[in-house]
Amino acid sequence: MKQLLKTLTETYGPSGYEDAVRKLILKEVKPLADEVRVDALGSVIARRKPAKGAKNPKKIMIAAHMDEIGVIVSHVDKKGFVRFTNIGSPFGRYTLGARVHFLNGVTGVVGYDRLENIEAAVPLNKMYIDVGATSRENCPLKIGDVGAFERTYFEMGDRLVAKSMDDRSGVVSLIETLRGLKSTPNDVYFVFTTQEEVGTRGAGPAAYGINPDVGIAVDVTPTGDTPASLKMVMELGKGPCIKFRDVGMISDPRVVDWMIKTAEKAKIPYQREVLLVGTTDAHAIQLAGAGVMSGAVSIPVRYVHSASEMIDYNDLKNTVKLLTALLSKPVSF
């Protein structure tokens, strides 16, 4: 599981440009699923059919997004310095000094016009990317070129650090659940969505096509366990988080109750999540078609939307255990 996480996090796939990540996912899921297809927006949909004899199987959609935050070139000045805008929400406090890998192979370093106040937050529109060019003519980038932040995966004991843990850790959770799920009484669709970071755009059309009875997003959630963090109870190492509410959705109480009872029966540690910032694919799934009862399972992460996002390996393993337990039994509501 760690090797798969390393491979996925070190692969580049900003929103709308997920091709390389999609190829890796397809390689993993094709031997494990009964049906695999790619929809019009590029989301991978891997179906595990219900076991023979299953009575009134529920159609369950489990979604994790494959895209990551990134940048796109908006201007190149006469000295070859590159101006850019965001794809998703890279935070200025993490971006200054970062290295950016562009999909055409070029690498650059993010600089800033002038630090008048070294303690101030740095806005992206005052930054540039230096790719070693000396003029507009010899700059290897053009308007519209897309890049993602460059950082390798590494481990600190059980703490795993990489770019794009949001949401490649969720992708790994789905793949490992699919791998370990020998049979299910449900009709399960494992969906690896596109363009979540720019407005949960891939999940809605995928859900519309599947028309599930229940939807679950598997994503990350910021923690409240660092100095002077937001007042939230989520911590690394305390188990996957069962979401009650975030900015974009309120989880269906039936789904929340199902998750909590399953975790407690299987003796899987879990946390209760009320997220004060952001949302997940569950927002789009919930509103698809005539509506879907939805919830979310979240992997706690520190330093979200940086190039060094941190998770705990035990939370990853327990997320897989929880998903497996949920899908191994009939849904009774």
Count of C-beta atoms within a 10 Å radius of residue 183: 12
- Quick check: is 35 catalytic? no
247, 216 Cβ separation under 8 angstroms? no
Q: Which of 196, 197, 273, 309 is catalytic?
A: 196
As given in the structure block, the two tokens for residue 5 are: 């996480």
Separate counts of helices (H) and strands (E) for the chain = 8, 17
Classify 129 as helix, strand or coil: strand
71, 84 Cβ separation under 8 angstroms? yes
* Residue 197 DSSP code: G
Cα–Cα dist 108/128, whole Å: 9
Q: Provide the residue type at 106 as one letter.
A: V
46, 210 Cβ separation under 8 angstroms? no
As given in the structure block, the two tokens for residue 262 are: 């399953």
Shortest CA distance to 7 belongs to which of 19, 25, 33? 25
71, 87 Cβ separation under 8 angstroms? yes
Which residues have C-beta within 8 Å of that of residue 264, sequence separation ≥ 6?
none
Cα–Cα dist 69/146, whole Å: 11
Which residues are tagged catalytic? 196
